[in-house]
Structure 1
Amino acid sequence: MRKINATIISENIKEMCIEANYFLCDDITHGLQKAYDEETWDIGKDILSDILTNSEIARKEKMPICQDTGMACIFIDIGQEVFIEGIKLEDAINNGVRMGYAEGYLRKSVVKDPLSRINTGDNTPAMIYYNIVEGDKIKITVAPKGFGSENMSRIKMLKPADGEKGVKDFIIETVKLAGPNPCPPIVVGVGIGGTFDKAAYLSKKALLRNISESNEDKYYEAMEKELLEEINKLGIGPQGFGGKTTALGVNIEVMPTHIAGLPVAVNINCHVTRHVTRTL
């Protein structure tokens, strides 16, 4: 049994909240650069240039890439041989978010009740996704999620008879309906299977995978590539002004489901697709 003090978790999450909001992921930067190099539409090319310049300024000056510094989504894989000392794990995670958003001068965007709309003032509570795994380590991923893109996400309970075509049509329809609102070029996370809530979880988890990495299953790898091509044919383009690149990547995650169901969820992320991972 390995012991890890809760304060270490808090300190790491604090640092990760700041890092995720200041420094754009390498795979997204490379994807944007590739899109810029291949863009032939002048306006689209100019916007991609501005996006890349903005991310470089944020990196150099150590300031947020975007004014929406997101709701803190924390994915945590806990080894079953780990014992956490000190305060409750949930409190340790929220302490880390609280400190990170204060010290990093990150916008606090969380309201304590969805209807009364009173701000919590510290960007907590975080949205926490626990997973128990083998081993004696804790793997933490901090993924701040802006709501310009989150609001464009959808879920649908398809019939099994809808099949592959139904799934593809729903994904493309979702991107088309989103249009310029999620600040394209976007990353499209797709969850297929499970139950209503599990499909949504899978679609958000899919956004954590680097866009340079395809699904390990060849069938879904081919589907990802086909969907990316079809989405980019929509011509929405960078920030909705037209161009070759509407999406930088399509990531699909799947799991078993019921014989009577075909749940599909699409979680969209803007070009500021942020996530930082550490293993303790």
Structure 2
Amino acid sequence: MDAHGVETLRKALVDATLACIHDAEVLLPADVKRAIDVSYEAETDPVARGELENIRANIQTAERLDLPLCQDTGIAVIYVTVPENFTLSRAELSSAIREGVRKATEAVPLRPNAVDPLTRENSGDNTGVEIPPIHFSEGPELTITVLPKGAGSENVSRIGMLLPSEAGKVISFVVETVLLAGGKPCPPVVVGVGIGGTFDLAAALAKEALLLPIGMMNSFESEICDAINTLGIGPMGLGGDTTALAVKVKKAHCHTASLPVAVNIQCWACRRATRVVTP
């Protein structure tokens, strides 16, 4: 590919990143909207129904005004699939994605959230050292997926290094995490669970689980979700039947002497969007 073709492809990636961030921030995925609607219809607590009604109105207003669903537009966690022998290097892809994030900060707009962890100096454009986090994997075509992650939900996430003999405690660990979180992550939440791997892999799996469609759960996920919904935390922590919209689990093999379990909680605005990049 000549220099013009490379630049055309790079610009397409910048534009796709901007568009994907816009979609993720403004338009709640259809499966999440359906889950909120189902919860509203099933809710028996009048205060909880009122909060769910407010959430539904919030979703409609964001779409109508073309504005972010929440004032905390989060940190953009980005997943990229790249075909084998792709023209651009990982460094070139990362550079284009970071440019797209900077453009989105102005255009969407996004709240500037990226700060130095110790000095708290704000970069002003949602980029910085290792920010946004970009995860690469191989795929049949170039795609970009954006998962905005706000601090209210991220701060209550948790990891436990259980013993192999404690496999029966996995569900109680997840439920306890949601109980400790209370109303802080703006429930009803979506709960991503990573089981196995290593300390870092379990956390990555828990976040990746938030990308899965929430319309269906397997029996293990349903068991955890039902247990969470007996807590009575309810929408916005004000009580009610619905504390979790869904639980999604991803697993990996782990060391024979280890059982890592990570819980990454997402607020009711389980924001995500994917774009195929075509020049």
Fold equivalence (TM over 0.5): yes
Which runs of 5 or more structure 1 residues have no equivalent in the other structure? 215-220
Contact 1:6 1:85 in 2 (8 A): no
Does 2:258 correspond to 1:254? no
Question: How far did 1:85 drift?
Answer: 7.4
Match of 2:266 among 265, 269, 273: 269
User: How far, CA to CA, are the matches of 1:86 and 1:261 in structure 2?
Assistant: 33
Tell me the percent identity.
Answer: 43
| Alignment: residue pair count | 270
Instruction: Tell me the equivalent position of 2:32.
Output: 28
Shift of the 83–161 alpha-carbon distance from structure 1 to 2, 3 Å rule, reads: same
Shift of the 84–246 alpha-carbon distance from structure 1 to 2, 3 Å rule, reads: same
User: How far, CA to CA, are the matches of 1:109 and 1:250 in structure 2?
Assistant: 27
Question: How far did 1:81 drift?
Answer: 3.5
Contact 2:20 2:144 in 1 (8 A): no
Match of 1:7 among 6, 11, 31: 11
Match of 1:126 among 120, 124, 132: 132
Instruction: Tell me the equivalent position of 1:217.
Output: none
Give the ranges of 4+ consecutive aligned residues of structure 1 lying more than 3 Å apart after TM superposition.
1-4
Q: Per-residue displacement from partner, 1:225-278 (whole Å, max 9, x unpaired)?
A: 101101001000000111110000000000111111100000000001100012
Shift of the 86–25 alpha-carbon distance from structure 1 to 2, 3 Å rule, reads: closer
Does 2:112 correspond to 1:77? no
Q: Per-residue displacement from partner, 1:206-238 (whole Å, max 9, x unpaired)?
A: 000111143xxxxxx211010110100100000
User: How far, CA to CA, are the matches of 1:101 and 1:68 in structure 2?
Assistant: 12
Does 2:137 correspond to 1:140? no
Instruction: Tell me the equivalent position of 2:208.
Output: 205
Does 2:45 correspond to 1:48? no
User: How far, CA to CA, are the matches of 2:257 and 2:26 in structure 1?
Assistant: 45
Contact 1:7 1:86 in 2 (8 A): no
The amino acid of 2:198's aligned partner reads: T
The amino acid of 1:188's aligned partner reads: V
Question: How far did 1:192 drift?
Answer: 0.5
User: How far, CA to CA, are the matches of 1:25 and 1:98 in structure 2?
Assistant: 24
Does 2:192 correspond to 1:186? no
Instruction: Tell me the equivalent position of 1:172.
Output: 175
Shift of the 167–85 alpha-carbon distance from structure 1 to 2, 3 Å rule, reads: closer
Q: Per-residue displacement from partner, 1:12-36 (whole Å, max 9, x unpaired)?
A: 0011111111111111111111111
Question: How far did 1:78 drift?
Answer: 1.2
Instruction: Tell me the equivalent position of 1:162.
Output: 166
User: How far, CA to CA, are the matches of 1:269 and 1:85 in structure 2?
Assistant: 32
Question: How far did 1:108 drift?
Answer: 1.0
Secondary structure of 1:5's aligned partner:
helix
Aligned-CA RMSD value: 1.7
Match of 2:229 among 227, 232, 238: 232
Question: How far did 1:74 drift?
Answer: 0.2
User: How far, CA to CA, are the matches of 1:54 and 1:87 in structure 2?
Assistant: 38
Stretch moving more, 239-248 or 102-111 = 102-111
Secondary structure of 1:83's aligned partner:
coil
Secondary structure of 1:94's aligned partner:
helix
Instruction: Tell me the equivalent position of 1:104.
Output: 108
User: How far, CA to CA, are the matches of 2:219 and 2:45 in structure 1?
Assistant: 28
Question: How far did 1:132 drift?
Answer: 2.5
Contact 1:143 1:276 in 2 (8 A): yes
The amino acid of 1:103's aligned partner reads: A
User: How far, CA to CA, are the matches of 2:247 and 2:163 in structure 1?
Assistant: 23
Q: Per-residue displacement from partner, 1:130-186 (whole Å, max 9, x unpaired)?
A: 1134x3x112111111010000000011000001x2111110110000000000000
Contact 1:203 1:267 in 2 (8 A): yes
Q: Provide TM-score, normalisation by structure 1.
A: 0.93
Contact 1:149 1:269 in 2 (8 A): yes
Higher strand share: 1
Match of 2:23 among 19, 32, 38: 19
User: How far, CA to CA, are the matches of 2:255 and 2:87 in structure 1?
Assistant: 35
